[in-house]
Amino acid sequence: MLDLTSKRLWFKSKVGFEEPNQVDLENNIMCLHTCSNLNEDKLMVQDCSGHNIFYDNPFVKNGLNFYAGVPLITPGGRVGTLCVLDSRKKELDQRQIETLQRLSRQIVYLMEFKVTSSRMTILQERNVMLQSQLEEKTHVLGVVSHDIRQPLTSITASSEMLLMNKDLDASQTELVRNNLSSAKYISSLVGELLEVVKYDTYNNNSDTKTNLLELEMVEMVTFIQQILMKHAMSAKKKNIFIKFGVEVCPPDHCTDDTTNAATTSPKQRPCSFEEHCRRSILWWDDSDDSHNLRTLPVITCFIDQVKMEQVVNNLISNAVKFSAYDSTCEVLIGRKDDSRVFVSVKDYGQGIPEQEIHKLFKPFEKIAGVKPTGGESSTGLGLNIVKNIIDAHQGKINVLSIVGEGSTFTITLPTHSLPCRIPQPIQSTLTRHPTQPNLNAAVEHDAKKLNILIADDYDVNRSLIVRIF
């Protein structure tokens, strides 16, 4: 092995050669010429003592007469040689030369394997350390969130109690409402932060993330329609009309491409709701009695209802949040094919600059130049959680956006069941023994004798509950 920087030569392995393990590199060293001459794949010297360069080599002076060497070539360059030395003058035939070259390649392979194995060991040790740190961070966040949520619960409950007080004037009521809003925002932020940490613990492995789900078959049309009702108030405040459509034929813009991209290509432009209608869409809204839920197609899918509601809530709330006043949002659901269902949420808002789209699903990222139109708050965690939940369902999410025209988020989900935890029906831990007293009868007899156990390690919450009751 050679080090041209320090000008040293090491004999890492040798047989029948009693020279020192390390020598200085001089111009008359044969291995140096074998590695330096990039135009040759070997160096053969039949008579070293008669060679015009190597005659005064220290090995030649000690009786070396024959040298045959081939370079050890790694992806990073030539690092050494495999050579055959002899005190007698000789010549190698072609078969022997090819054997020497083949051996050199095998040595390089073993060297690379050893380096890779060493790196893998280091990476595994680092992964264990990082996993330990991540688990510690998750534990700390869990403890901190518990400690934060306790006073937040007290603040929220106290504020709601104060709002029930008719003696507060307008300024006092506004102050209490601001406190309540801030408490709810912090509580939501803590919850989202814990959600991000929980999914990060699984190292972006969708198969492992699936274990976080409790899947059940859900009728998607009714599921989406019920979620839409929850956004009616926030949309009404900005005079935004939400249209709900059920499509029989999948739209052109629902592709298998998982890369998030913005484009102005006519073939990939998000179609308008009216254009979709020409592709056999049944649509429904609460102001139109021409359709009701019984007339809409039945589309079933295996999902975790709680987590998927979180996904759809986020997409719809974002559409409303970033849409202009007096505009429209569209929610579309349909079958992509026999094994997949899609849900798309479209707004006619500001749109997302192409160079900013890569930030969408990263935690705490803010999109430059795109702000909520009504001053709504944003944690920067919502879409990261959405992506994690869709990955856990082994689905895909696609984004199409045009600045000044709007954005369309489309999620595609497999309709079949995934290997996961199956939700078990909740069984009551209280079973009435024949000899136990009837508690209802006792309450009816004398309600004053009923005691309530408050299990809370935060004394402010205990005092607050006692005051309420």
Do both 179 and 272 map to the same domain?
Answer: no
Do both 173 and 285 map to the same domain?
Answer: no
CA distance 354 to 399: 11
438 belongs to a structural domain = no
10 belongs to a structural domain = yes
Do both 303 and 377 map to the same domain?
Answer: yes
Q: What is the pLDDT of residue 248?
A: 61
The mean pLDDT of 275-283, rounded to a whole number, is 51
* Confidence check: pLDDT of 371 > 90: no
* Confidence check: pLDDT of 266 > 70: no
Do both 189 and 241 map to the same domain?
Answer: no
Burial label for 447, CB within 10 Å (0-12, 13-18, 19+), is exposed
Q: Which of 226-230, 260-264, 307-311 has the lowest mean pLDDT?
A: 260-264
Q: What is the pLDDT of residue 255?
A: 41
The domain spanning residue 37 has which CATH number? Answer: 3.30.450.40
Q: What is the pLDDT of residue 190?
A: 78
Domain end, chosen from 414, 446, 464, is at: 414
Q: Please say whether the beta carbons of 272 and 328 come within 8 A.
A: no
DSSP string, 399-438: EEEETTTEEEEEEEEESS--SSBPPPPPPPS----TTS--
CA distances from 71 to 41, 67, 251 (A): 7, 13, 59
Do both 267 and 349 map to the same domain?
Answer: yes
Q: What is the pLDDT of residue 8?
A: 66
Do both 220 and 193 map to the same domain?
Answer: no
The mean pLDDT of 313-328, rounded to a whole number, is 91
Do both 313 and 369 map to the same domain?
Answer: yes
* Confidence check: pLDDT of 428 > 50: no
228 belongs to a structural domain = yes
Domains of the chain: total: 3
CA distance 469 to 465: 6
Do both 174 and 236 map to the same domain?
Answer: no
The mean pLDDT of 29-52, rounded to a whole number, is 81
Structural domain containing residue 293? 215-414
Q: What is the pLDDT of residue 28?
A: 60
111 belongs to a structural domain = no
CA distances from 343 to 18, 221, 244, 306, 340 (A): 76, 10, 11, 16, 10
* Confidence check: pLDDT of 238 > 60: yes
Do both 23 and 66 map to the same domain?
Answer: yes
The residue that leads in pLDDT, 390 or 193, is 390
* Confidence check: pLDDT of 206 > 90: no
Q: Please say whether the beta carbons of 254 and 342 come within 8 A.
A: yes
Q: Which of 65-79, 179-193, 402-416, 442-456 has the lowest mean pLDDT?
A: 442-456
Here the tokens at position 122 are 């280091």
Q: What is the pLDDT of residue 308?
A: 92
* Confidence check: pLDDT of 88 > 80: yes
Do both 345 and 384 map to the same domain?
Answer: yes
The domain spanning residue 223 has which CATH number? Answer: 3.30.565.10
Give, for 34, the enclosing helix (H) or strand (E): helix 30-36
For the chain, the average pLDDT equals 76
Angle between helices 382-392 and 170-200 (to 10 degrees): 40
Do both 172 and 224 map to the same domain?
Answer: no
* Confidence check: pLDDT of 253 > 50: no
3-class secondary structure for 181-206?
A: HHHHHHHHHHHHHHHHHHHHCCCCCH
pLDDT by residue (tens digit) across 299-318?
Answer: 889 998 988 998 999 999 99
Q: What is the pLDDT of residue 442?
A: 42
Q: Please say whether the beta carbons of 9 and 31 come within 8 A.
A: yes
CA distance 209 to 200: 9
Name the band, by pLDDT with cuts 50, 70 and 90, for residue 443.
very low
* Confidence check: pLDDT of 436 > 70: no
